[in-house]
């Protein structure tokens, strides 16, 4: 009996090992072919530049090419939807953003995907504050002066943004509500044409990303009044926050991170999370992000998921108050 029992256990153990071997091999082999990293915005923007930099580092580390696939359109919805409907095998990953996972669900009448149910968050990659900049022709040098000027000239000031529902647009709408001022929003097809009109004086102010704006501020072409985040940015510590200047609780920033289709194995998510965190914490990448006006901000998958869940109602409130909609 004893011999049979021992033999039986040995057979079971052998069978268990054989059955688990393909799973272990598959886990160890990932990635065994090229990975597609979908950027749901056009080439050349901050998200695209960052994706390419990280993609190259992942290629070097894993020995398989990480191919950037730009799928712009509908505020990022087209690219995000492509990933949501892809096989959950770790070979199609999304560089999602504030718009795709927090804003669009309230901005668009119909969404092709669910930002919570259809994705597995991997890690937050970076955050970047917007900065309130004004044209030199506006006779103000601080946020309180701007508020006073706007109240004295209702409807005279125009602020531009890269699109309806962008972080710059929503920061402006929140500013209008919190400061009690009347300003006109002018949406553009991208941040670059909006900045050109601001430099030309066709619009008077913007809540623009830090990298673009500070170049113009340092050249003396614009005046920077404050950053939109709850705390000062280490990239421009001399600038106060809007909360410090009389708008308590004001906190809007752009963020982006990596996500996989729902159902992606935890082992693959963990591998991405660990490797991206390692890359983001290198001095080289910290310097690279500073040039982009961004701060690397790696998180656990659970922390990233919690951020997304908290951002959706926050922006729903702002969008409802502004009346912004995209059909």
Q: What is the CATH number of the domain that holds 91?
A: 3.40.190.150
Query: What pLDDT was estimated at residue 167?
Result: 86
For residue 188, the domain's CATH number is 3.40.190.10
Q: Would you say residue 265 has pLDDT above 90?
A: yes
Interatomic CA distance for residues 16 and 10, integer angstroms: 10
The domain tally of the chain equals: 2
For residue 203, what are the CA distances in angstroms to 159, 161, 200, 212?
Answer: 6, 10, 8, 16
Of the three residues 192, 227, 262, the one that is the final residue of a domain is 227
Helices (H), the chain: 2-29, 46-62, 77-84, 98, 104-107, 143-152, 167-179, 191-200, 210-218, 266-280, 283-291, 301-322
User: What residues make up the domain containing 146?
Assistant: 129-227
Of the three residues 227, 243, 277, the one that is the final residue of a domain is 227
Are the C-beta atoms of 54 and 122 separated by less than 8 Å?
no
Q: Would you say residue 18 has pLDDT above 70?
A: no
Q: Would you say residue 91 has pLDDT above 90?
A: yes
Task: Report residue 139's pLDDT band, with 50, 70 and 90 as the boundaries.
Answer: very high
Q: Would you say residue 1 has pLDDT above 50?
A: no
Interatomic CA distance for residues 262 and 83, integer angstroms: 10
Asked if residue 198 and residue 124 are part of one domain, the reply reads: no
Interatomic CA distance for residues 35 and 55, integer angstroms: 9
Burial class (CB in 10 A: 0-12, 13-18, 19+), 110: exposed
Are the C-beta atoms of 300 and 270 separated by less than 8 Å?
no
Q: Would you say residue 145 has pLDDT above 60?
A: yes
Domain assignment present for residue 210? The answer is yes
Q: Would you say residue 75 has pLDDT above 90?
A: no
Give pLDDT tens digits for 157-166: 999 998 888 8
The 3-state DSSP class for residue 101 equals helix
Asked if residue 117 and residue 49 are part of one domain, the reply reads: yes
In this prediction, residues 221-248 reach a mean pLDDT of: 94
Asked if residue 307 and residue 272 are part of one domain, the reply reads: yes
Strand partners, 95: 258
Domain assignment present for residue 12? The answer is no
Asked if residue 50 and residue 85 are part of one domain, the reply reads: yes
């Amino acid at each position: 009996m004893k011999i049979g029992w021992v033999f039986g256990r040995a057979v079971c153990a052998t069978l268990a090992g054989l059955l688990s071997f393909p799973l272990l091999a598959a886990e160890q082999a990932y990635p065994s072919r090229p990975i597609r990293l979908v950027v749901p915005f056009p080439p050349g923007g901050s998200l695209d530049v960052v994706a390419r930099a990280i993609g190259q580092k992942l290629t070097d580390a894993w020995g398989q090419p990480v191919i950037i696939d730009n799928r712009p359109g509908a505020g990022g919805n087209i690219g995000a939807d492509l990933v949501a409907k892809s096989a959950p095998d770790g070979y199609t990953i999304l560089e999602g953003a504030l718009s795709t996972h927090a804003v669009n669900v309230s901005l668009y009448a119909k969404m092709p995907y669910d930002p919570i149910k259809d994705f597995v968050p991997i890690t937050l990659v970076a955050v970047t504050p917007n900065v309130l900049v004004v044209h030199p022709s506006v006779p103000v040098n601080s946020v309180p002066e701007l508020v006073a000027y706007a109240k004295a000239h209702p409807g005279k000031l125009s602020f531009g943004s890269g699109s309806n529902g962008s972080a710059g647009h929503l920061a402006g709408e929140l500013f209008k509500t919190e400061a009690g001022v009347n300003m006109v929003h002018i949406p553009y097809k991208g941040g670059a044409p909006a900045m050109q009109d601001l430099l030309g004086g066709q619009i008077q102010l913007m809540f623009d990303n830090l990298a673009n704006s500070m170049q113009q501020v340092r050249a003396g072409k614009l005046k920077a009044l404050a950053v939109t985040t709850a705390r000062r940015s280490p990239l421009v510590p001399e600038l106060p926050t809007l909360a410090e200047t009389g708008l308590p609780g004001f906190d809007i920033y752009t963020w982006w991170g990596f996500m996989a289709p729902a159902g992606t194995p935890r082992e693959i998510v963990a591998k991405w999370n660990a490797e991206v965190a390692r890359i983001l914490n290198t001095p080289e990448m910290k310097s690279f992000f500073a040039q982009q006006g961004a701060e690397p901000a790696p998180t656990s998958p659970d922390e990233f998921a919690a951020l997304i869940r908290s951002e959706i109602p926050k922006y729903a409130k702002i969008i409802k108050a502004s009346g912004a909609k995209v059909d």
